[in-house]
């Protein structure tokens, strides 16, 4: 889903589902931790810092070629969801007798 602050960014929230965590790690080139300490699930390489830690309910934001990890409350304060266009459904014609 896309979100907007000053510009649109692609963002994904970390949920507790293991398959979703693996998919998110793959999306942002994240690296798994050796053992989960203080809820850290994986490391996200960023352009501004070497590594950022990611926990459940955090958001991973792709901003250009960089990734940023942000807490849920901060993300909700800064971004609003962008409605993506959906293909309109054409109602079926009714057959009359």
pLDDT in tens, the chain (97 residues): 777 666 678 888 988 788 888 888 889 888 877 766 667 778 888 776 566 788 889 999 987 788 888 899 999 888 888 776 565 554 455 545 4
pTM for this predicted structure: 0.69
Residue 15 DSSP class: -
Between CA 15 and CA 43 the distance in angstroms is 15
Q: Are 32 and 18 in contact (CB under 8 A)?
A: no
The DSSP string of 19-74 is HHHHHHHHHHT-EE-SS--TTEEEEEE-SSSSEEEEETT-EEEEETTEEEEE-HHH
């Amino acid at each position: 889903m896309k979100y907007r602050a000053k510009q649109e960014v692609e963002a994904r929230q970390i949920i507790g589902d293991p398959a979703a965590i693996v998919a998110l790690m793959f999306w942002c080139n994240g690296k798994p931790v050796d053992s989960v300490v203080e809820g850290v699930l994986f490391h996200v390489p960023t352009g501004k810092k070497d590594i950022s830690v990611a926990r459940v309910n955090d958001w991973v934001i792709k901003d250009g070629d960089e990734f940023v990890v942000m807490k849920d409350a901060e993300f909700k304060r800064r971004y609003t969801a962008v409605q993506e266009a959906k293909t309109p459904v054409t109602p079926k014609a009714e057959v009359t007798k």
